[in-house]
Structure 1
Amino acid sequence: MPKRTSDAADEPAAKAAPNGREPRVAEEDEGMGEFEDRWEDDIESESGGEEEIGGDEEGEEDGKPALMSWFLTNEVVEEAPPAKQTYLPGTKLGPGEQLVADQSVYLALHSLSYAWPCLSFDILRDNLGEDRSTFPHTAWIVTGTQAGEVPGQGKAKDEVVVMRLGGLSRTQRHDEDDSDAESEDEDETEEDATLDFLTIPHVGSVNRIRAAPVASTAQIPDPYHVATFSETGKVHVFDVRPYIDTLAGPSRPRQKIPVHTITNHGRNEGFALEWGQTGLLTGDLASKIFLTTVTPTGFHTSPNPYMSHTSSIEDLQWSPSESTVFASASADRTVRVWDIRAKNRKSVVSVEAHSQDVNVISWNKGTDYLLVSGGDEGGLKVWDLRMFKDTPTPVADFSWHKAPITSVEWHPTDTSVFAASGSDDQVTLWDLSVEQDEDEEPIASGVNADGTPITVPPQLLFVHQGQKDVKELHWHPQIPGMMITTASDSFNAFKTISV
């Protein structure tokens, strides 16, 4: 019987899908994921808690193993190394079976935990250059907390957090006989990963947070606006540029109150929030969508909402090619497309996209007629918006996830690749350009715990695991292949060998 050396129920995991790209085994990096607080005096006093990050030389801290990929191994014999078999999520564990961790499927993998859960975040653009490939990397993000109860004190104060993740070094080294890789490695330096952050007080938990768009060739804007949707029903807009400047260099005065607050939603909280060149879209649980425009004189929110949905607005996306067009996803199971020039403020076209709530959508920036949606039933569907007539069918339909989809996002440059996360603790990468020959056997198969067969879709490139209740993911627009994810227990920043 196969033997697995770590407990599958408690230990985090990450793995590559068996798509024909065989991973190479590499030694674990002993310093992976260690973050140091370089702003101790300023940071800890403002954050209200200390961060908890990384892993020690054994890949653990406080008994919690670092993220790895899982493989099945046979019993070790002296005559030959153990055979490996890719572990498929959902596979029933046999008596005495354990999981063995392996990181060879990652170029880099780092993990960090904050004082409170941060269930929404966005990546901030920086001035460090485009298409950065040389390690170590630096990434800037902005996030918001969902603080819990403090014994004897009630609910803790929430905050918006501006973070700089530095020293994100390569955690996998190439084989010594790979001369090209050696030359590439010589240009890199190894650093300990660091986390620097500053906080802004926030009234209520942050349901969702989004940064205003910045052109790829532009400098960091001043002001740099970030919007939050609070559980109180208010949408706050902050200027985070002074916080970025303080972390990056000389300190600047930092305003700890919003520069603007939108109150049109009343007491109806929401989770849908999206910036575009035209303005800021906000959608609430009462099925109302409001548009706020930004002018040199300030912010203006139209008092008249867009209303066609019959249930809560779950997600919003601006069209990448038409500045007046946006799409919405709702708990009424539909995806709708709108044009703000329509005087009746009703959607132009719609489709019943899922059998349950439509939680998230993402509009392909390179192929502007493609949109991917994720539903409460765990389905992922890719739609051709040109076919949004009568009863359209998706051009791709995947049912790999076993729980609600919580986030989807197209790759910023590869128009056939997208990523998704689910409440089943999986982050999956998909490539629509991969097709399976009719006479070809399934790529891999197994058996679920309930006895049903597992068949891996050929389009599934990679499965990342290890976080609990993954809520949101984003590709870094300036570091090709770098993905950052957040969950109830941690952030992950990683680059895989598959993308």
Structure 2
Amino acid sequence: MGKRASSPVGDRPAAKSNTAPAAAERAAVGEEGMGEFEDQWEDELEDDAELGEVHDAADDDDAEEGGEDGGMDVDQQEEERPPSPKAYLPGGKLEEGEFLAPDLSTYPLLHSFVPTWPSLSFDVLRDNDGEERRGYPVSCALVAGTQAQDPTANEVTIMRWEGMGKTRKDYEEDDDDSDDEDTEDDPVLTFRSIPHKGGVNRIRARPLGNPLSGGPPVPPDPYHVATFAETGKVHIFDVAPHLHSLLSPATASSTLSKTPLYTIDSHGRAEGFALDWAKPIGGSSSARLLSGDIHSKIYLTTLTPSSCTPSPKPFVSHTDSVEDIQWSPSEATVFASCSADRSIRVWDIRVKDRKSVIGVAGAHESDVNVISWNLSTNYLLASGGDEGGIKVWDLRNFKGTKAPAPTPVASFSWHTAPITSIEWHPTEDSCFAASGADDQVTLWDLSVEEDEDERPTGDDADRLKDVPAQLLFCHQGQQDIKEVHWHPQVPGTVISTASDGFNIFKALPFA
């Protein structure tokens, strides 16, 4: 992110000025009241011109050197160039009248969407546009749960974003060309909604067993999505008809369900944030869903084509709120969990006493908020703590929770506030994304090693000495970021949600 001086006569605060990325154009919306794509930077050039910030050095040179006939004055000394701007580091102090603006040269893709109500949680849905999509414009399908001020207004929203064009940096084109490009690149949002009782703490779509190129289920085959409500209920919806109506409107049914397929009451009134579907391993037709609540209990629910069966006996080794759950990507009966009791635990559902088998008692200095199981290197687990720390663990070093804690494979203290989300890259086993309450989304690569010859020198040496070599990119501009996901069908694309809306972007290191 770069720093740009704001208008001395404007009243736009810094926090407001960095909430909308530059490439997000206003969208046509399928239904009234959902929200819109925004471009709060559309008048940036005009504002800069009024402030005298748009400056043509060539005109000045002609005026100083050439006079009326444009001749060169050999005695004229070359004007000194201003020093290059310094890179802004997150947490750095902004001077009065300064606000953050994105450096568009580092974003091949950057769009934002502001819904009517914020979402604490969302998930990426499979679409039928194929895998390994690298061209533009970009499209995606999402499912999100709202946190509305009016409890009766909450909903599960199935969204289709289309027409998200590549970030444009050619602002010097004439107006006619720009207008043509705007028409081509205008993003379009369509959506379907399902009423939801209470705010949605966490929402997860069931992983599909077929290849990414196979597309999503087509009705009557179900596409299950689970929510953990603030009421303590876990709901399971079938969003296949709703998604199909967005992807193939000509053949879609006009009847869309507005109620959940099943409601699970195992947690009573205890709300929770931990929710995860088992990965499809072994070709079983049944699905397994885990949910963990603030009273330290984890329940297993088994879903078959004709029934939903919650297990009456919970998993009970944690002593405080269960914050996150992850099924193993390679072992059908194994899952991991983390808790406000500062522990990470690994379980096997075949153990009769419902106790964890291995773990780390003091994994972080504070609550362990989130975990992510590496999809390719199955013995790696990443975790994020309330103190802002990120750690990567080798599960082969885990012992009983009373044993001394193993040393993490990697540990980073870049974030200055609680880690709110972490997720490994779907195909690059050394890369992951994380988000924090310090309004950052960070992208990391553990395979990067610090090169002594490339260390900063001079004035930047002290300022940049604490920047980890493995930190590839830092995205800012959102407030109170809650969750981040990679898009598995669009390589390198990251989607994040915050109290002020969604961002979708592709950073230069993953272009």
Q: What is residue 51 of structure 1 aligned with on the other side?
A: 35
Residues 99/119 of structure 1: CA separation in 2 closer, same or farther (3 Å cut): closer
Q: What is residue 313 of structure 1 aligned with on the other side?
A: 322
Q: What is residue 5 of structure 1 aligned with on the other side?
A: 5
Q: What is residue 182 of structure 1 aligned with on the other side?
A: none
Say whether residues 1:461 and 2:508 are aligned partners. no
Q: Find the residue that maps to 1:138 and give its secondary structure.
A: strand
Matched AA of 2:372: S
Farther-moved stretch of structure 1 (95-104 vs 200-209): 95-104
| Larger Cα-atom Rg | 2
Say whether residues 1:358 and 2:348 are aligned partners. no
> How many pairs does the alignment contain?
443
Q: 1:161 aligns with which of 134, 137, 157?
A: 157
> Residues 236-289 of structure 1, C-alpha deviation per residue, up to 9 Å, x if partnerless?
000001111222213322111100111011111100000113510100011111
1:110-129 residue pairs with structure 2 within 5 A? 110-129=111-130
Q: Find the residue that maps to 1:266 and give its secondary structure.
A: coil
Q: 2:483 aligns with which of 466, 469, 472?
A: 472
Residues 445/490 of structure 1: CA separation in 2 closer, same or farther (3 Å cut): farther
Residues 345/3 of structure 1: CA separation in 2 closer, same or farther (3 Å cut): closer
Residues 235/3 of structure 1: CA separation in 2 closer, same or farther (3 Å cut): closer
Say what the alpha-carbon RMSD is for the aligned residues.
Answer: 2.8
CA contact (8 A) 1:76 1:82 kept: no
> Residues 352-381 of structure 1, C-alpha deviation per residue, up to 9 Å, x if partnerless?
210100000000001001010000000000
Higher helix proportion (structure 1 or 2): 2
Q: Find the residue that maps to 1:104 and give its secondary structure.
A: helix
Q: What is residue 69 of structure 2 aligned with on the other side?
A: none
Q: 1:3 deviation in Å?
A: 8.1
Q: 1:387 aligns with which of 360, 379, 397?
A: 397
Residues 58/321 of structure 1: CA separation in 2 closer, same or farther (3 Å cut): same
CA distance in 2, matches of 1:317, 1:110: 29
Q: Find the residue that maps to 2:370 and give its secondary structure.
A: strand
Larger RCO: Structure 1 or Structure 2 (Cα < 8 Å, ≥ 6 residues apart)? 1
Q: 1:214 deviation in Å?
A: 1.1
CA distance in 2, matches of 1:354, 1:321: 26
1:393-472 residue pairs with structure 2 within 5 A? 393-437=407-451, 441=455, 455-472=466-483
CA distance in 1, matches of 2:256, 2:450: 55
Q: Which runs of 4+ in 1 moved over 4 A?
A: 75-82, 94-101, 442-447
Say whether residues 1:200 and 2:194 are aligned partners. yes
CA distance in 2, matches of 1:203, 1:95: 44
Q: What is residue 35 of structure 1 aligned with on the other side?
A: 27
Q: What is residue 291 of structure 2 aligned with on the other side?
A: 282
Q: What is residue 66 of structure 2 aligned with on the other side?
A: none
> Residues 397-417 of structure 1, C-alpha deviation per residue, up to 9 Å, x if partnerless?
000001000000000011100
Matched AA of 1:225: H
Residues 101/275 of structure 1: CA separation in 2 closer, same or farther (3 Å cut): closer
CA distance in 1, matches of 2:161, 2:116: 16
1:102-113 residue pairs with structure 2 within 5 A? 102-113=103-114
Q: Find the residue that maps to 1:466 and give its secondary structure.
A: coil
Matched AA of 2:105: S
Q: What is residue 224 of structure 2 aligned with on the other side?
A: 225
CA distance in 2, matches of 1:474, 1:402: 21
> Residues 68-91 of structure 1, C-alpha deviation per residue, up to 9 Å, x if partnerless?
xxxxx9x99765476232111122
5+ unaligned residues in a row in structure 1: which ranges?
16-27, 66-72, 150-154, 176-188, 448-452
> Residues 146-197 of structure 1, C-alpha deviation per residue, up to 9 Å, x if partnerless?
1014xxxxx442100000011111114699xxxxxxxxxxxxx943101111
Q: 1:440 deviation in Å?
A: 5.6
Q: What is residue 358 of structure 2 aligned with on the other side?
A: 349
CA distance in 1, matches of 2:317, 2:428: 33
Q: What is residue 258 of structure 1 aligned with on the other side?
A: 260
Q: What is residue 63 of structure 2 aligned with on the other side?
A: none
Matched AA of 2:228: F
> Residues 460-481 of structure 1, C-alpha deviation per residue, up to 9 Å, x if partnerless?
0000000110000100000001
Q: 1:50 deviation in Å?
A: 3.8
CA distance in 2, matches of 1:429, 1:233: 33
Q: What is residue 68 of structure 1 aligned with on the other side?
A: none
Higher strand proportion (structure 1 or 2): 1
CA distance in 1, matches of 2:41, 2:493: 24
CA distance in 2, matches of 1:369, 1:95: 48
1:123-138 residue pairs with structure 2 within 5 A? 123-138=124-139
CA distance in 1, matches of 2:233, 2:100: 46
CA contact (8 A) 1:327 1:336 kept: yes
Q: 1:219 deviation in Å?
A: 3.6
Q: 1:334 deviation in Å?
A: 0.5
Residues 446/91 of structure 1: CA separation in 2 closer, same or farther (3 Å cut): farther
CA distance in 2, matches of 1:304, 1:173: 58
Residues 476/95 of structure 1: CA separation in 2 closer, same or farther (3 Å cut): closer
Residues 348/8 of structure 1: CA separation in 2 closer, same or farther (3 Å cut): same
CA distance in 1, matches of 2:206, 2:15: 40
CA contact (8 A) 1:109 1:493 kept: yes
CA distance in 1, matches of 2:43, 2:111: 11
Q: 1:34 deviation in Å?
A: 2.0
Q: 1:496 deviation in Å?
A: 1.2
> Residues 428-487 of structure 1, C-alpha deviation per residue, up to 9 Å, x if partnerless?
00000011145763586566xxxxx86211000000000110000100000001111000
CA distance in 2, matches of 1:298, 1:442: 61
Residues 102/173 of structure 1: CA separation in 2 closer, same or farther (3 Å cut): closer
Q: What is residue 185 of structure 2 aligned with on the other side?
A: 191
Q: What is residue 91 of structure 1 aligned with on the other side?
A: 92
> Residues 90-126 of structure 1, C-alpha deviation per residue, up to 9 Å, x if partnerless?
2234577665642110001000111111110000011
CA contact (8 A) 2:334 2:346 kept: yes
Q: 1:58 deviation in Å?
A: 1.9
Matched AA of 1:381: K
CA contact (8 A) 1:409 1:418 kept: yes
